[in-house]
Amino acid sequence: AQSVTQPDIHITVSEGASLELRCNYSYGATPYLFWYVQSPGQGLQLLLKYFSGDTLVQGIKGFEAEFKRSQSSFNLRKPSVHWSDAAEYFCAVVYSGYALNFGKGTSLLVTP
Amino acid sequence: ETGVTQTPRHLVMGMTNKKSLKCEQHLGHNAMYWYKQSAKKPLELMFVYSLEERVENNSVPSRFSPECPNSSHLFLHLHTLQPEDSALYLCASSQETSGSGTGELFFGEGSRLTVL
């Protein structure tokens, strides 16, 4: 079954530093991949998605992600992190044409 | 505001109570979902409805009973729950149906359930 793995449970970065959150997927065909963000007490908000085409996708809030088929990865990046980016980040892959299978999430802490 | 509204936001219930969670989407979508989010676990898909028909039930215990009276509303009826059922229950919707979807989901803010 399609699945995603987020190897890092917690990540701490300084404000203004660059960020990369890792995501590896397991899927036989070209996957539909997503990154969602969840702020405390909130639901999940879509940051960006990859279906096909350009492997570098741009999202909201200055985030981008790169699909690398050879590495089965879809890592999320941001060149300069803001304190408001502190949240839980989830990578996900389409499952059964309907719903998403989510990774366990990576909790981002931003220090001054 | 995502266009998906969940009520109540917080619910505390005893193991013998019966309660319901409600979800309403204002996006004109065709599919609706219930996910369970527990601490230190991935989001677990519980149910999927497409055009008001249940198309997926991921081995969820019968103490959880979904209902989808129309494409805009989704309920999760709860009865004789266990303390381990305490979690954040997230509702989502999407445009696609019939397995042709791209999976982009729009989530509500969730209902935080505590079972005593």
A101–B contact, CB cutoff 8 A: yes
Pairwise CB contact (< 8 Å): B107 & A44: yes
pLDDT at B98: 47
**What is the CA B29 to chain-centroid distance, rounded?**
15
Please, where are the H alpha helices in chain A? none
Give the whole-angstrom CA distance, residue A50 versus residue A73. 12
Per-residue pLDDT tens digits for B8-59: 999 999 888 899 999 999 999 988 999 999 987 888 989 989 888 887 777 8
Give the whole-angstrom CA distance, residue B25 versus residue B46. 18
CB A40 within 8 A of CB A102: no
Residue window 47-76, chain A: list those with CB within 8 Å of chain B: 49, 51
Interface test with B, best of A5, A35, A44 (most B CBs within 10 A): A44
Per-residue pLDDT tens digits for B50-89: 888 887 777 899 999 999 999 999 999 999 999 999 999 9
In the three-class reduction of DSSP (H, G, I as helix; E, B as strand; rest coil), residue A60 is classed as: helix
In the three-class reduction of DSSP (H, G, I as helix; E, B as strand; rest coil), residue B101 is classed as: coil
pLDDT classification of A97: cutoffs 50, 70, 90: low
Instruction: Reply yes or no on whether the pLDDT at B100 is more than 60.
Output: no
Interface test with A, best of B105, B111, B112 (most A CBs within 10 A): B105
CB A94 within 8 A of CB A73: no
Pairwise CB contact (< 8 Å): B48 & A100: no
DSSP code for B97: -
Residues of chain A positioned with their CB less than 8 A from the CB of B51: none
pLDDT classification of A51: cutoffs 50, 70, 90: confident
DSSP states along B30-74 = SEEEEEEE-TTS--EEEEEEETTEEEEE-S--TTEEEEEEETTEE
pLDDT at A30: 72
Pairwise CB contact (< 8 Å): A102 & B41: no
Give the whole-angstrom CA distance, residue A84 versus residue A39. 9
pLDDT at B13: 92
Instruction: Reply yes or no on whether the pLDDT at A59 is more than 50.
Output: yes
Maximal C-alpha separation, chain A:
42
pLDDT classification of B97: cutoffs 50, 70, 90: low
pLDDT at B15: 87
pLDDT classification of A28: cutoffs 50, 70, 90: low
Amino acid at A90: F
Token pair, residue A9, equals 């449970």
CB B13 within 8 A of CB B113: yes
Q: Closest to B101 (Cβ–Cβ): which among A92, A97, A101?
A: A97
A9: Cβ–Cβ under 8 A, 6 or more apart, which residues?
A104, A105, A106, A107
φ and ψ at A85, to 5 degrees? -80, -10
B101–A contact, CB cutoff 8 A: yes
pLDDT at B99: 47
CA geometry: angle B2, A16, A68, nearest 5 deg: 65
pLDDT at B103: 62
Give the whole-angstrom CA distance, residue B107 versus residue B93. 7
Interface test with A, best of B7, B43, B58 (most A CBs within 10 A): B43
CB B62 within 8 A of CB B77: no
